[in-house]
Amino acid sequence: MGGTGTLKAVLFDRDGTLVVDVPYNGDPQLVRPMDGARAALLKIRGSGLATGVVSNQSGVARGLLTMDQVESVNRQVETVLGPFDVWEICPHGPEDGCECRKPAPGMILAACQTLGIMPNEAAFIGDIGADVQAATAAGSRSVLVPTPVTRQEEIDAAEVVALDLGHAVELLLGGRFAPAESAESAESAKRPAGRAAGQDPSA
C-alpha cells in the first residue's frame, strides 16, 4: 500500500488501555476490559479499520511469566473484546537492549508490516509516555489515554490526549487532532499523578 497517511489501522497497548492493568498477569480469569473498550473497538472495526495489540511483557524476562501464560491471557482478551488482526509482544526486559520493547518502535513497525501498511497509516493508543514515544519513533500517530499511573509530564509531552477510549476513537475517526483542547480536558479528569512504588509501568 502507498504511504498516503490515510488511517488504515488502530493499534493498542494492552494493559491499562484495553484491559485493566494487573501487573505481570498470567491468569486469564483476571482479564477485565477497560471502560469503553468494547464500544471503541466496535466502532473502529465497523469503520473497516484493522486492529492490533502491541504490548511489553517484561514479566517473561523477569521469570514471573511464561510466554504460554501471556498467550493464554491474550486469548482471553480476544474472548472479551473480539479478534485482533495482529499481535506483537515483547518478552524482553529494560536491560536487554532489544528493538521491540516500547519506547522503541520495533513492535509497531512489525505490526504495520504484517498488516501491509505504512507506519503513517496507523495510529497507536496507549496510556503512558513510552507508548507515545514508540508511535512517534515509528512514524505513526498516537493518542494518550491517561490513567492514574500516567505521569503528569507524560500528559504534558503528548501531542494528543484523550479523556477515554471513546474520545480517542472520536479524534482518530474524525481526523481531529486538537491537542490543546483535549489535553486541557484531560487535566480536569480525576487522574492522580504518580505510580505505585516498584511497579513497572511499561511492563
The answer to whether 102 and 89 have CB atoms below 8 angstroms apart is: no
Other residues' Cβ atoms within 10 Å of the Cβ of residue 48: 7
Q: How far is CA 104 from CA 26, 114, 116, 125, 131, in A?
A: 24, 18, 20, 15, 9
Q: In sequence order, which residues have a C-beta less than 8 Å from that of residue 174 and are 6 or more positions away?
A: none
Catalytic residue numbers read 13, 15
